[in-house]
Amino acid sequence: MTDEFAAHRRTAGGISFTDVGEGPVTLFVHGVLTNGRLWRNCVQLLSDRRRCISIDLPGHGHTPPVGEPSVWGLADAVDTVIRELDLHDIHLVGNDTGGAVAQVVLTRNPERFASFALTNCDTEGNFPPLALRPAVWAAKAHLLRAGAPLARMPTLAKQIYRTGYQNVSAVPDDVIIGYLAPTLGSREGRRFMTALLSSMKPEELASIRPLLSACEVPTAIVWGTGDIFFRRSWADWLVDLIPGATGVVEVPGARLFFPDERAPELIDALEAHWTLGPTGDEAQIGVAVAFAENRADMA
């Protein structure tokens, strides 16, 4: 598997991650059927001034299928890295299922976190999202083995990511294969993914709602508006739930995996969030996003 940060790859407690740069610790958590490379463009933009840690969750990327195949087991893996590296004052960022994992991690040890940021992600009541439920049904029917050939056919494999990317053809083939080879390309990976998808149910995150509703950690909600999996209403739900969240910053037209293909807009929003802290508001952060959009248009 190609890895642009291979020289920075480490393991802690059996969990693989890349650790790039120096400065405030920024910890990135991806979702199902991707891996830590989802954040590669964000890391490229930040690692000259921040320490960027991108985890491969169990059964994804370079981390084998270990631990409990559930959101709780995935959170255990993130906790393992945090504990083994003795991380504090962490800026935690989650996307997709990784956003649900990040919510669990945050509520377990909120004192370790300097800030929190969620992009389009699962929430209580939308876990899994409606558009992903056919994959869950396929997993429960033990049909994921039908997807195994996709791990060797990047052109065809890209079709299953088309709903998550605005321009999936621009994603390098090795990135897509790196997403699918560990999750669908091996018997062990398929078993883990089958169990993980089968564990998802709308009420799964209900137990952490009281903890999130008491969370004062400064929280940014940065949401792509073109996503069929996680509509804007779920971003509003998170803002209403988490006291540390000030509002929703929209990335117009962006889809689920915009942290990959529209990294500059996300990074500008995050840096505004980190700079403004708990006194900032979404309007000011939105200016940064608009600036990033204009910069991308001129490029």
SS3 per-residue string spanning the chain: CCCCCHHHEEEECCEEEEEECCCCEEEEECCCCCCHHHHHHHHHHHCCCCEEEEECCCCCCCCCCCCCCCHHHHHHHHHHHHHHHCCCCEEEEEEEHHHHHHHHHHHHCHHHEEEEEEEEECECCECCCHHHHHHHHHHHCCCHHHHHHHHHCHHHHHHHHCCCCCCHHHCCHHHHHHHHHHHHCCHHHHHHHHHHHHCCCCCCCHHHHHHHCCCCCCEEEEEECCCCCCCHHHHHHHHHHCCCEEEEEEECCCCCCHHHHCHHHHHHHHHHHHHHHHHCCHHHHHHHHHHHHHHHHHC
279 confidence band (pLDDT: 50, 70, 90): very low
Residue 278's pLDDT is what? 52
Average pLDDT in the 212-218 region?
A: 97
Rounded CA-CA distance 60/119 in Å is 20
Per-residue model confidence as pLDDT tens digits over 105-132: 999 999 999 999 999 999 999 999 999 9
Rounded CA-CA distance 91/249 in Å is 17
Residue 291's pLDDT is what? 46
Task: Give the CA dihedral 248, 179, 142, 193, nearest 10 degrees.
Answer: -70
Over 70: is that where the pLDDT of 298 sits?
A: no
* Residues contacting 106, CB < 8 A, separation 6+: 92, 113, 116, 212, 215, 217
Residue 282's pLDDT is what? 52
User: How large a percentage of the chain has pLDDT more than 90?
Assistant: 84
Measured in whole angstroms, the distance separating CA 59 from the mean position of its chain's CA atoms is 15
Residue whose tokens read 């939105």 = 286
Per-residue model confidence as pLDDT tens digits over 7-53: 999 999 999 999 999 999 999 999 999 999 999 999 999 999 999 99
Task: Catalogue all structural domains in the chain, each as residue range(s) with its CATH number.
Answer: 6-126+204-298 (3.40.50.1820)
Task: Give the CA dihedral 105, 109, 111, 116, nearest 10 degrees.
Answer: 10
Rounded CA-CA distance 16/45 in Å is 21
Residue 226, burial from CB neighbour count under 10 angstroms (0-12, 13-18, 19+)? middle
